[in-house]
Amino acid sequence: MKRTSKGKHVLYLIAALGMLMYALPLISIRPEAGWVSIFGWVWAAFAFLVIGAHLHFLLGVDADKQRALDQVRKAKLQEWQKKWSQDTHRHQGVE
């Protein structure tokens, strides 16, 4: 199983929060601003997505799901190895 450091996600979360806190007062999200307003809304939405993704990882919401996927991956690997072993023995018997 691949292990990742939570420290990296904490750092990225703090960086994203800092950028959002700095940029929100500067972004023009007034309806009469036109394209500038659209850009501001989209940029803020992406920033919130990044923050949400890092919070999701840090809170471990998908830890059970990851364990289940790892079990499926191991079962498929064992099945593949068994099939490969049977094919190898069958071919060796033919030759």
54-69 pLDDT, tens digit per residue, is: 998 888 766 677 788 8
Q: Which residue has the higher pLDDT, 54 or 1?
A: 54
Task: pLDDT band for 15, please (50, 70, 90 cuts).
Answer: very high
> What is the residue range of 13's domain?
1-61
Do 10 and 47 lie in a common domain?
yes
Do 24 and 55 lie in a common domain?
yes
Chain-wide mean pLDDT for the chain? 83
Do 44 and 69 lie in a common domain?
no
- pLDDT score at 11: 94
Do 14 and 48 lie in a common domain?
yes
Do 75 and 43 lie in a common domain?
no
Percent of the chain predicted with pLDDT > 70: 88
Task: pLDDT band for 49, please (50, 70, 90 cuts).
Answer: very high
Do 12 and 41 lie in a common domain?
yes
Q: Which residue has the higher pLDDT, 2 or 84?
A: 84
Do 51 and 12 lie in a common domain?
yes
Looking at the predicted structure, is the pLDDT value of residue 92 above 50?
yes
Do 11 and 46 lie in a common domain?
yes
DSSP assignment string, the chain: -----HHHHHHHHHHHHHHHHHHTTTS---GGGTHHHHHHHHHHHHHHHHHHHHHHHHTTTTHHHHHHHHHHHHHHHHHHHHHHHHHHHHHHHH-
Do 73 and 28 lie in a common domain?
no
Could you give the number of structural domains in the chain?
2
Do 68 and 41 lie in a common domain?
no
